[in-house]
Structure 1
Amino acid sequence: MDNKLSILVVDGHEQNLRAMQDMLADTELQVLTAASGPQALELLLVHEVALALLDVQMPEMDGYRLAELMRGAERTRLVPIIFLTEGAPQPQCSFRGYEAGAVDFLYKPVDPRVLRGKIEVFVDLYRQRRQLAERIAAYERLARTNALMLAALSHDIREPLTVLMLNAEMLIRRSELPSLKQAGARMKAATTMLRRQVDHLVNLAQLPETELRPRLARGDLSRLTQQRLHASANEALMWAPSSLASAGDTEGEFDAGLVAEAIDHLLLQAATHAGDRPIRVEVDGTTRRSLLLRIGFDGVLAEPAALYLFGPGSTVEGIAAPQVGPGLQGVERIARAHGGSLIGSSPQGHGTRFELMLPRGWAELG
């Protein structure tokens, strides 16, 4: 059996079946023919069809009854049906055909060009529906695979983090050297944040896109950013003092919990790659419709780090939705859930910068 799409033609007259086969001989369609309703049902048990052309007047079972049986079966309930009949147009016949589930009702003789055009439309729709079903099935398989890999990966990450946490605590408690105590405290804080980010990313990855719905409430982005900067887990990550500058009205409507997690993750990435360079944080509320959070530092990312954070594509300054790498996907998803965006760049001579944009919400209407 080849991979041609099939259509079913049911007609009580053999010459009509041959004429339909001849008319569609130059197409890539496989034309299945049946001289009665029972023969058509037997074919439908074996073949999947993109369209059914049914003659109304047939022996044993008329086209209306065949259409009702097709609509009542799970396998064929979505197959488009076009009725063909002889005689003068009669409104009651057309109404009955549409009530039986037909998508069209044509009277013989039918213009071959018109019929071929209708067939092409429904065959194209069938192809699109089948492609969509295949993509959904592939996405579901990928989602199941990703869930398994994510569970295994998170376990593999948590185990060494536990070991690091125990060793950091041992340095803090048993060392008499201040430098070692400080190193232990830094290690403990970084391990705590990494563990929290792993939990957060695992939770985000397990949620479908449509289920990440921020709980919007009035808040001050500058105040929230200051709180996260002074959180002990974040302060311990900084090799050099960080700075915070605010401008304009920094109040807006956002999910403080999700945005706090986004800020923490951006600070973690900045601290990881800034080294002993100071980190600059800015909250810009000078525009009417949006709030901007910028986190940056001097220095250009190495190629592996840039690939991890920004992905393989090149980023363009000012583009609202550039591609991001796996290191920023969680933050970018939070931004998109708010209707905002995340931009990252690390060009030569300009340093590295992350820019999170959030719509202001209620305030933009004031």
Structure 2
Amino acid sequence: METTATVTGMVNILIVDDEPRNLSVLESILDDPSYRLVRATSGDEALLALMADEFAVLVLDVRMPGMTGFELAQMIKVRRKTARIPIIFLTAYYNEDQHILEGYGTGAVDYLHKPVNPAVLKSKVSVFAELHRKGRELEQANRSLSELNASLDQRVTERTLELQQSQARLLEANRRKDEFLATLAHELRNPLAPVRNAIHYLKLRGPDTTDVHWASDVIDRQVTAMGRLIDDLMDISRINQGRIELRREPVALDTVLADAVETTQPQVDGAGHKLTLLQPPMKLVVDADRARLAQAFANLLSNAAKYTDPGGQIEVRAVVDGGTVVVSIHDSGIGIAPHRLESVFEMFSQEEPALARSRGGLGIGLALTRRLVQLHGGEITASSEGAGKGSMFRVCLPLAANLVADDASDAAQAPACAEGCLRILVADDNRDAAETLSTLLEVMGHEVKTVHDGEAAVDAAAAFDPELVLLDIGMPGLNGYDACRRIRAHAAGPGRTVVAVTGWGQPHDVQSAHEAGFDRHLVKPLDMDALMELISSRVAAGRA
């Protein structure tokens, strides 16, 4: 049976929300001549619409009276006609892992928070609408096959191959999206962990002490880190949609580089790198948006610091080449394989697999940097002698004529405390996360040892003999799973309580932690009630 949408060439999209004003908002976001929007204000109304017509995607509110979105999704899933309809859940409840698991369990393909980001919703709906159109095209092509004679065989084969390739691209895009979302969740949780620790520390210690100032600095640093991640995401979106505008003016290149160095100096210093800046004596002026160009160089410096082992070398050199200036950023880091030199500039490209990627990042920094450099009329290239031999990024920019100037400065670090009822080992390569958690535990009266990698955790477990071990998973060298196995293998290992404290919170991550020998799996930022309950049970077990 042909639907209304099939006849007109449009695709049907069902939007379900018990609030009429929310439906109006969704209609304005999804206003597109190629869509036929069908609205429903209850689960029963939605079921009737699904029985009557064929839909490319269902945008469904979770909280509705009578029949919730999850209950409706469950009913859709068991009906043959509707079982394959992709569902995008909408919810006003932020970061409720239980809700998210329940949503995906009932057949959701995505889960968005209210208020909905219009660009994100339009993008996701357009993917499924396009998939639906392609599916319809495939069905049409298959129907045509039976009517065509032998002379049309070649054309049918080419068309089918075209559709298969298109479907493969969409599936690959969907796979990348899923991996990206998992990485995003991990990366946003990591900065939140020390923020939450610092807040609880402030509550315990009270206002107007040097400790309060220290904790405030930690909060500021981590909120800034999260802001940069989110800004990068937003900038990529704006550039892709052609909505980013440069405020260009003649600006001194040394000022731009000083801004970039100031932004990344804490990261460079934290890793113990030596940063050298070499520039010609004359003022070099470029026609640029100072903030955006500094952002591009800061991304390159941040990458150099991130992918260089502690105590490395980073050199920034500017040289004039005719009417252009060439800025090269050279590091002594992990290097880039020859076949990866061009693909490093692609969206979501990463130089390390997810578990080994203790260095972090979303894989969008270099893609964003290339777009920003191109917007300034320049170009960027990467070179490396291979794995372990460092990398060099060269940015070529056209020179302007006049000059400008500016400068930069730096930040600070932290204290410690006494002894208590448990010996606790904290291992995390995020120093702010480790130090805030350790300080919080010391204020509570525990004796705490802090380390920043897996090997050090194994050594500290043997020397310090902790009763409780709080172990990050993604750490350099030896990851948390392998560190846990080695701690367990020690003579005193079975008697210790070992807890995974990580930004990775998917069900398979919990299973991997259990298989590695962890007693518990806690997701960052830590739920303080869960941590207190865990400590109390360990103290009680020690007395028994």
Question: TM-score scaled to structure 1, two decimals?
Answer: 0.47
TM-score by length of 2: 0.34
Which structure is larger by alpha-carbon Rg, 1 or 2? Answer: 1
